[in-house]
Structure formats: C-alpha cells, structure tokens
Amino acid sequence: MTTKVNRNIVKIDEDKCNGCGACIISCAEGALQVINGKAKLISDKYCDGLGACLGECPHGAISIEERASEEFDVEAVRHHLEAAEPSSRELPCSCPSTTVEKETANQPSIPGQWPVQLALVPPEAPFLEQADLLLVADCVPFAYGKFHHDLLKDHALLVACPKLDDFQTHLQKLTEILRHSPVKSLTVAHMDVPCCAGLTHMARQAIHLSGREIPLSEITIGIRGDIKRPDAGSVSKLPA
C-alpha cells in the first residue's frame, strides 16, 4: 500500500488548459504530459511541488495545492527520465521532438536544466549529480554578452541575488545542495559591485557548512561586460 502525506503538488485546471505543452518543457522531472489534448500529472511521486511550471502556462491553468499524495521520489524521477526516449517523444502538435532539438541545437542560450533559481532547485535534483556547478548573480547574464557560450557551457546553473534575496535562506539551500549532491566543482560569477561579492561569501560558507572540500572558482564581471578577475584555479578548503 502506497503511503501518502499531505504536501504541495501541482494541480491542473483542465477547463483552462488547451494542451499547448509549455509546462511540459519546464518540468525537469518529466512529471507532466499532454494526454488527449490536456496537460496531466502522470505521477505524484515525479512532482516536487516547487512549481517551476507555474509561470510557463499562458492560460493560468496550473496552480499548487496541498493534498494527500505520494512523496516526491528523486530516484523514481531518475529512472523515469532515463527510461524516456527523446527520439520517440512527440510534442502536443504531434511533431517529433527531434525536430525541435535540431532547430535549437545551435542556440547556446538554452540552459540544460530547469528550474535555475536557487530557491527552486531541489537539493538532490538529478542534474546536480557530478555537475560542475555555476552560481550566478542575477545581473551577470545581462551584462556579459557571451555568458551562455563562455560561462554556462557544460555547467549546471543556479541563479541568485545576494542583495535582493534572503541571504540566509539561500545559504541554507546551497549548503543542502553541496551536502546531498555530489557536485564536482563550484564557480561563482558575480558583478564588480560591492553587494554582489556576497555571493562568493555565501559559496565559501556553504562549502564549509557542507563538510565537503569542493574546488571553488570566482569570476567577476565589470559593468561594461568585461571579465575583471577570472580565477579558474582557486580552491576553497575547509579550515584545519
């Protein structure tokens, strides 16, 4: 018998849903599918309840409700994603997904995972496993024109603002990520302004609190879009 707990989980209003499939792309766990012209939650255990799909629905058909459901299962999600056959999947318009993949293959501006906001990323998300992690201040992708090509390539992405966001909440989440996911390295990219350097401080604290020794690099972007202090070799070590 499946044990259920009260928790937040996605709810879809089928009267509002037109099956456009925008939410499917934003769900990193593959919990949503378009079935008979409507988006469906195919399994409670695939939904983390964080709502990365909420802002993607143009019709407001998606919300978060609290109800009895299976617990989110990271391992089940991993098996589910590994079992998926990208070449055989179809989009809501019945076009093979390989068509879209070919069209977007040369567009380096698409991140390799969703969500990207630090507050929304589960500490044990599958895309964090053995990842080179890039922690980026909100303004960096706007200031540095070659951000996706030079910095994002081959990295898992986390986005945060050390000034406008809750520092302690972000520190706790980053610590949990580093503690529970076997990331290989952490690179911090921030703007060349005093408040933005707090992101590096957050990263160093999180590494210390995680109890792990993780290579830490820092990249500083000037307000004119130039790299001020690239540092690809520094290592943040735990105090003796």
Which amino acid is located at 142 in the chain?
Answer: F
Which amino acid is located at 62 in the chain?
Answer: I
CATH class of 4-104: alpha beta
Look-up: residue for tokens 């009267």? 15
- Strand ranges (E), the chain: 4-12, 32-35, 38-41, 62-70, 132-137, 156-160, 185-191, 216-221
**Beta-ladder partners of 218:** 188, 231
Distances in Å between the Cα of 153 and the Cα atoms of 52, 133, 148, 208 are 22, 11, 6, 26
* pLDDT band at residue 1 using 50, 70 and 90 as cut-offs: low
DSSP class of 122: -
Q: What is the pLDDT, as a whole number, of residue 151?
A: 92
Tens digits of per-residue pLDDT, 152-202? 988 999 999 988 888 899 999 999 999 999 999 999 999 998 888 899 999
Collapsing DSSP to helix, strand or coil, 194 comes out as: helix
CATH number belonging to domain 118-221: 3.40.50
DSSP class of 111: -
Tens digits of per-residue pLDDT, 54-100? 777 888 899 999 999 999 988 888 888 887 654 434 444 444 443 33
Q: What is the pLDDT, as a whole number, of residue 240?
A: 29
- Show the DSSP H helices in 153-193 as ranges: 167-180
Strands 216-221 vs 185-191: parallel, antiparallel or unpaired: parallel
Measure the N-to-C terminal CA separation of the chain; round to a whole number of Å: 49
Residue 112 pLDDT greater than 90, yes or no: no
Residue 224 pLDDT greater than 60, yes or no: yes
**What element of type H or E holds 230?**
none
| Domain spans in the chain, listed from the N-terminal domain onward | 4-104, 118-221
Rounded to the nearest integer, the mean pLDDT of the chain is 82
Residue 6 pLDDT greater than 80, yes or no: yes
